Structure 1
Amino acid sequence: MTRAPVLPRPAGAGVATRDAGRWWPVVPAAVAAATGFWGLCGPSLWRDESVSALVARMPFGELRRFLADLDAVHALYYLLLRPFAALPWPPEIAVRLPSVLAFTAAALGVAALGRRLAGTPAGLYAGLLYALTPIAARYAQEARSYALVSAVAVLATWLLVKLLDRPGAAVCAAYGASVALLGWLHLYALLLVPAHLLTAWLPALRRRLTANRPPVAVRSSVAVGAAGAALVPLLLLAAGQRDAQVFWLRTPGWTELAAFPGEVAGAGAVVLFAAALWGAVRVPAVAVWAILPVALSFAISQVQPVYHPRYVLFAVPLLALLAGIGLAGVRWRAVPVAVLVLFAVLVFPAQAAMRQPAARPDDLRTLAATLAAEERPGDRVLFVPQRFRLFVAVYGAPYDRLTDLTRAPGAPGPRTAAELDAALKGVDRVWVISPRIGTKYADDERYRTLKRTLVPGQTRTYGSIHLTLWSRNN
């Protein structure tokens, strides 16, 4: 039998009601699964997803060399993705499936947490809000680690609550393991840990989470310390790759922070955040879990940029938990139902838009279809810069048929200008796949060599990816 929630239950709620409530978290999980699978194949995979799929398919030796230079922070995710990437299914299903499953598990966990902290209605409302939140659904349909990170953040929070209630050695070890797993999936998700520790150390926050008052602060700190030790190898690798990994991040201003609610819930932001505000009054600790990681990310970014909405996605299930607790505090039960319906109506346009074929930053599927339709025997392909092969080649057939001029067979790096000049002899057509060349890549020696030999045709764009056919000027 699950223990009674700490917050007051409706009068007359008895054992039978609590036992029946055990199964209600399945409802948000089912809604999340339906949301995740809805239109899963609609949008093309984009460049980040292409990297995920291709790296997950690499032989282990090649994977080890790749991670030594780049993306070591995603090593665990790539390993977890390998069996899915090998499935003989459309790539949109195969490599996005782990994210859909993680999204479903996170909705289940949010509902279970809400039920434990504030009763079955709170859990039901929280899980449904999370299942309908646009940003959560968006990354449930992406072959990156963010949905998994959110699920593990919910798990770690569940274990923290359990540790606060019954601080046994097994729970302490499980909590430490969940924190380590969280860091191995995404280092920035460790911003949740200060919020957890604040809860453990401050009795005023802990008081609303458990009827007991166990001395858990030291145990939780020891668990976090052990998790930190397990993360040392990753931290050392990540420190050496930071400039290549997140060079594109910029210092956020107040405008970016003010845009965060809209990024999370679109037109439903007012509804979600208003409910969360009422939940913060009822259970302040949950407010700390939902708000502090975002605030820390923003504050740290004033010195060293680390903020992006997807990098704090793990706080969104806790925000939904807070909103569900808020709705459960409304005396009239028709109000939460009306709010849920209103939220679903408000977010529907955003939910539908993210499933359109061109809804991702790049349309790699159409790019591959264009190549497949227009390539001829003897055509070559050149990626400028070299890493763009990983960015686009998830739809492999046309690229497998084209001879790649970017890198000589067996060579670790790109061809030199002289090597490319020799490889171009007798070649009439070369497909160039690149970002906008601009001034950044105009001085690439391979690009300059190509300009001396061939003439560019029309450039077509597929999101940020550019495709140009270069041919001889006969």
Structure 2
Amino acid sequence: MPGGNNATRKWPVGDIAWLLAVLCAGLLARLLHIERQPFWLDEALTFQRIHLGTGGLIADSYANRHMPSYFLLLQLISQLDPASAILRIPSALFGALSVGMVFIIARRIGGRSAAIVAGLLMALSPLQVQYGQEARSYTLVTLLITIALWGLVRLAQNPARASLGIRHADFDWCGWTSYVFGTIGALDVLSDAAPWLIAANASLLMIWRSLRLEPSPDARAGFGRNWLLGSAIILACCVPFYGAILAASDGQILHKFDWIPPLSWQTLKVAAKSAYLMRMAAVVRFSVLPTAVPLLGLLVAMLGMVGLWRMRGRLEGRVLLLGFAVLPLLLLAISLVKSMVLPRYMLWSAAPFFVLAGIGAASLPRRIRPAVATVLLLACAVNLAPVYRLETKPRWDMAAATLAAQVQPGDTVFTGDPNAPTMLAVLQPKGAAPIGTTALVTPQLDVALARWKQGSRVWAVNGRSALGQPEGLDAFKDRITALGTPALQIPEGKEITILMFPAPAAAD
């Protein structure tokens, strides 16, 4: 297999050109229509957090189990322009750089053909593109973990060099530094990176065990010292921040994930299909959307299995396997107690999987590889197209515009979703007065009913802002039947409906 012995040689011009091509493809895919979908709840909370001031931002981040680092970055960027597209651009850039790292890892292990296929899969994965168009930190974590993964692969390819002392002229500074600081960066951006520590240390354990075959008796001891030093640096740079999260959450971290759907075969299939098999996920419904290329996921799965088979017995292959498998298996184990299976929580584990798929493609006969890469490119592009035209996030922007135009002083806006007032406030039309200054916005039905009886018109909004137990329109109408018959029913996209109930005197 190409790539292993030649990994340190200077790159040919052709490889550099392909790297730039997949980088551009990944960036274009993420920047295209980046402003089309409105914010959903997580992004709306990001918007609110970055406008709290630095102290408030840090406190609110820790209270909600988040590191403040990414939000501080967005706070700085928001000073240029608070528009949604500006706040999403860092995610697009980090996502595109992740594409480049996947290409580099795959080339190091499997050569140019593996790198092209792995890079294209990462560039055109619907889930990777979706989160590359969100004002959240998932793509930065993915980038940092791919940097750490590259370091681990490098260490696995030359364990003897990785065991040298840090003062030795041939000490692998690149491998150890990439692993240590990539891991620190990921952990200090988002706690979703914590399972990477398990995968990485399991990989380091295997590399350490492989040194028993080395003629030098000091190799294992040297590697162990470097491993312990790296671990100490990682813990020193991360433990204080995780202590702050624990202190702010009163130790009740798992109890704050009740909104995640219960573990089932359906949730497992949705997570696997969207994270690894090129399916597009709905944001507020735990489902995958229809695909334009039904067999693409099967093809990618087969390439991944072939790549895993091709890498059997090689340390680099075991590193990739652990990088891919530890995260979903850990989430599955935790979900036996508290459901934690979500596509975005599995996002970074797709990178090593796509590298394996690239290696599987590189095992095909040389004469058909260009045709396979071309077919894969076209299939991925067609498969990705619906991301840009389908409604994947509720149109709270349309609902906010409708209410801003029609509510009058003294009106009441009742929202079935308790987070809807946040959505309406964040997505209010530019230049329009906040709805809350004209009408009372409340998720409490008893308040809305009391004001209605006192002569207030009520605008009842059915729709959700995030995952959770859905309430259909019929059930919503049954819940507010005391308001009578709505005079208006206004659909706003697929997820939201606004009902207007005239005041009792006006109804009479």
Alignment TM-score, normalising by the size of structure 1: 0.79
The CA RMSD over aligned residues, in Å, is: 4.0
Q: Is the 8 A contact 2:203 2:319 kept in 1?
A: yes
Q: Is the 8 A contact 1:29 1:107 kept in 2?
A: yes
Deviations 1:77-117 (Å, cap 9, x if unpaired)? 322222333433642x1122111111111011111122223
Q: Is the 8 A contact 2:147 2:178 kept in 1?
A: no
Q: Is the 8 A contact 1:32 1:107 kept in 2?
A: yes
Structure 1 residue 253 corresponds to structure 2 residue 257: no
Residue from 133, 144, 155 that aligns with 2:136 = 144
Matches for 1:19-418 after TM superposition, within 5 Å:
21-22=15-16, 24-64=18-58, 66-67=60-61, 69=63, 71-88=64-81, 90-91=83-84, 93-164=85-156, 165=158, 167=162, 172=176, 175-203=179-207, 215-228=222-235, 229-230=239-240, 231-238=242-249, 240=251, 242=253, 245-263=256-274, 264=276, 265-266=278-279, 267=294, 268-280=296-308, 281-282=310-311, 283-332=317-366, 334-356=367-389, 358-376=390-408, 379=411, 381-382=413-414, 387-397=419-429, 398=432, 400-403=434-437, 405-406=440-441
Provide structure 1 residue ranges, at least 5 long, that are not aligned to the other structure: 408-413
Structure 2 CA distance for partners of 1:223 and 1:6, relative to 1, 3 Å = same
Q: In structure 1, what residue type is equivalent to 2:54?
A: F
Q: Is the 8 A contact 1:201 1:217 kept in 2?
A: no
* Cα distance between partner residues in 2 of 1:115 and 1:98: 26
Q: In structure 2, what residue type is equivalent to 1:326?
A: G
Moved more, 303-312 or 426-435: 426-435
Q: Is the 8 A contact 2:483 2:501 kept in 1?
A: no
* Cα distance between partner residues in 2 of 1:389 and 1:44: 15
Moved more, 323-332 or 95-104: 323-332
Moved more, 42-51 or 343-352: 343-352
Q: Is the 8 A contact 1:197 1:217 kept in 2?
A: no
Provide structure 2 residue ranges, at least 5 long, that are not aligned to the other structure: 167-172, 280-293, 312-316, 465-469
Structure 2 CA distance for partners of 1:84 and 1:364, relative to 1, 3 Å = farther
* Cα distance between partner residues in 1 of 2:47 and 2:330: 32
Q: In structure 2, what residue type is equivalent to 1:220?
A: W
* Cα distance between partner residues in 2 of 1:451 and 1:399: 30
Q: In structure 2, what residue type is equivalent to 1:136?
A: Q
- Residue 455 of structure 1: CA displacement? 7.7
Structure 1 residue 458 corresponds to structure 2 residue 489: yes
- Residue 150 of structure 1: CA displacement? 1.2
- Residue 336 of structure 1: CA displacement? 2.9
Q: Is the 8 A contact 2:199 2:322 kept in 1?
A: yes
* Cα distance between partner residues in 1 of 2:16 and 2:426: 42
Q: In structure 1, what residue type is equivalent to 2:4?
A: L
* Cα distance between partner residues in 1 of 2:190 and 2:503: 47
Aligned partner of residue 202 in structure 1, secondary structure:
helix
Q: Is the 8 A contact 2:261 2:267 kept in 1?
A: no
Q: In structure 2, what residue type is equivalent to 1:278?
A: V
Structure 2 CA distance for partners of 1:454 and 1:270, relative to 1, 3 Å = closer
* Cα distance between partner residues in 1 of 2:385 and 2:208: 42
Q: Is the 8 A contact 1:47 1:362 kept in 2?
A: no
- Residue 145 of structure 1: CA displacement? 2.0
Structure 2 CA distance for partners of 1:425 and 1:224, relative to 1, 3 Å = farther
- Residue 204 of structure 1: CA displacement? 9.2
Structure 1 residue 472 corresponds to structure 2 residue 503: yes
* Cα distance between partner residues in 1 of 2:199 and 2:32: 34
* Cα distance between partner residues in 1 of 2:178 and 2:51: 31
Deviations 1:439-472 (Å, cap 9, x if unpaired)? 9xx99xxx99x96899885364555455343441
Deviations 1:57-86 (Å, cap 9, x if unpaired)? 2233543554464x2325333222223334
Moved more, 117-126 or 455-464: 455-464
What residue in structure 2 maps to residue 410 of structure 1?
none
* Cα distance between partner residues in 1 of 2:144 and 2:10: 31
Q: Is the 8 A contact 1:50 1:393 kept in 2?
A: no
Structure 2 CA distance for partners of 1:32 and 1:377, relative to 1, 3 Å = same
* Cα distance between partner residues in 1 of 2:369 and 2:243: 45
* Cα distance between partner residues in 2 of 1:36 and 1:65: 31
- Residue 371 of structure 1: CA displacement? 2.2
Q: In structure 1, what residue type is equivalent to 2:92?
A: V
* Cα distance between partner residues in 2 of 1:249 and 1:393: 25
* Cα distance between partner residues in 1 of 2:72 and 2:39: 19
Structure 2 CA distance for partners of 1:222 and 1:96, relative to 1, 3 Å = same
Q: In structure 2, what residue type is equivalent to 1:289?
A: G
Q: In structure 1, what residue type is equivalent to 2:500?
A: L
Q: In structure 1, what residue type is equivalent to 2:373?
A: L
